[in-house]
Amino acid sequence: MTVILLPGAATLAQLHDIWSGEKPVKLDPSSHDAIKAAAASVAKAASGNAAVYGINTGFGKLASVKIAPQDVATLQRNLILSHCCGVGEPLDTATTRLMMVLKLLSLGRGASGVVMSTVQILEDMLIKGVTPVIPSQGSVGASGDLAPLAHMAAAMIGEGEAVFGGTRMPAGDALSAAGITPIVLGAKEGLALINGTQFSTACALTGLWGAWQNAATSVLTCALSTDAIMGSTAPLQDAIHTLRGHAGQIAVARAQRALMEGSEIRESHVDGDTRVQDPYCIRCQPQVTGAAMDVLHFAARTLEIEANAVTDNPLVLVDDNLIVSGGNFHAEPVGFAADQIAVAVSEIGAIAQRRVALMVDPTLSFDLPPFLTPDPGLNSGLMIAEVTTAALMSENKHLANPCTTDSTPTSANQEDHVSMAAHAARRLLRMNANLNVILGVEAMCGVQGIEFRAPLQTSGPLKAAMTTLRREVPTIAEDRYMAPSIETAAQMVASGALTAAVDLPAFVKGHAE
């Protein structure tokens, strides 16, 4: 079913639905009048004698060079081809399509000056499944995501490469096979397509949704770990967290308390339990992961605004009869949001890794066997799985260093401060994949630890999660080739299979669904 989007009012829920289901998209017809009005303003400027940046001048440092009217179309085509300088692995299909949707939303605001056929070819490509091949490296998030968006625009004019029917081919062939005619760019259209933050924003949104899934899963895995070590639930009392007042902290404590409600393991030591001072990785989970969730909510709001923004240059202000140069293409808001998400992902993983270390360490794990194996010595159990989580935790700490502070001048010093938002956003994919593994291993350890507490049983919700994991990852009775089990557990985290087994509140699930 085609999703109809209203420019300026698209929600993250709609965008997530499009991204996760690769659904076809069209703009609400109510946006067409504004698009046509801006295009008329550009046509008028292109036929005049006054120099207007991006319409009848060169670009960037060449903005003072006037272009003859008969060369305007060539100017736009040259712009696209010369900016197709991306390198590296191609962006995945779902994120590429999301980038195209975000560009549609931006053009649909009626401030970019493109004609309707340019909007319609993007819609047709999304509906018929023609996906440009977008190299993932080459943007500094300055005058927009120039190189990545140029590769998108190149496919629209029949240049570069695209994927159609699962096959990578020349873009012209892909368009032809889908029954789509390439467009010829008019005045300003090439610039409207490549100026903007849509590559960075699409990557940041993908990172946000992955982070939410990980954050939600970490509430479940912490509950498993807490029962595995027979930890205290006293620090989860609501009054503790409401006295502080942070929404994320309150929500995480309540969710974890609900997950553990009715556990025989917990009830077996609730009376006279002197272990009110569990290590911080258990006791401070609401404070740490709750704070991370608050950060994710803040970043989500920034990215929702950006998803609906007009970020190319110059902008066509139809009501004021002006075409003016500005700086909305500067992706600093996206870079900040991505940096915040990165810190949250790193911290969720850091505290989870310490829980893994806690469970495998016989000096700390409260009577669990060393490395959670029933026959330690002959078997190493989860010893090296914990080492892997430590390696990935450390890698994420390095990756979490801010990108937005690493500006460098480009384009002959015309673009003398850049956001590095593309770097900030792209690294989230790797960080979330690392965190998938850390939480997958924590789930393996937590379930294995709870099984050692038999005949005592855990809570109903945690039993459901254990059953889900055990369908794919068997109990580790003796040493076996471990990599496939870790990979499977990580995939279950990433897909949401583990959290689907339990009931989590909306705040905790956030924008994961």
Catalytic residues: 53
User: Which tokens go with 210?
Assistant: 């992955």
Of the candidates 496, 497, 209, 489, the residue with the CA atom closest to the CA atom of residue 344? 209
Rounded Cα gap, residues 309 and 118, in angstroms: 18
Tell me, what amino acid is at 10?
A
> Where are the extended beta strands (E) located within 334-488?
none
Dihedral in degrees, nearest 10, Cα atoms 39, 40, 46, 50 = -120
The first and second tokens of residue 10, run together, are: 């698209």
Residues 6+ apart with CB under 8 A from 405: none
Q: For residues 359 and 364, give the distance between their C-alpha atoms in angstroms, rounded to a whole number.
A: 7
Place of tokens 């120039």: 146
What b/e string do you get for 54-75 counting C-beta neighbours within 10 Å, with b at 16 or more? bbbebbeeeeeeebeeeebbeb
Burial class for 429, CB neighbours closer than 10 Å (0-12, 13-18, 19+):
middle
Q: Give the number of other CB atoms < 10 A from CB of residue 12.
A: 18
Give dist(CA 299, CA 311) in Å, integer. 18
Residues 124, 178 contacting (CB under 8 angstroms): yes
DSSP character at residue 364: T
Helix (H) or strand (E) holding 315: strand 315-317
Point out which residues pair with 202 in neighbouring strands: none
Count CB neighbours of 478 within 10 A: 11
Query: Can the peptide bond before residue 314 be classed as cis, meaning omega within 30 degrees of 0?
Result: yes
Helix (H, G, I), strand (E, B) or coil at 436: helix
Instruction: Determine contact, residues 441/483, Cβ cutoff 8 Å.
Output: no
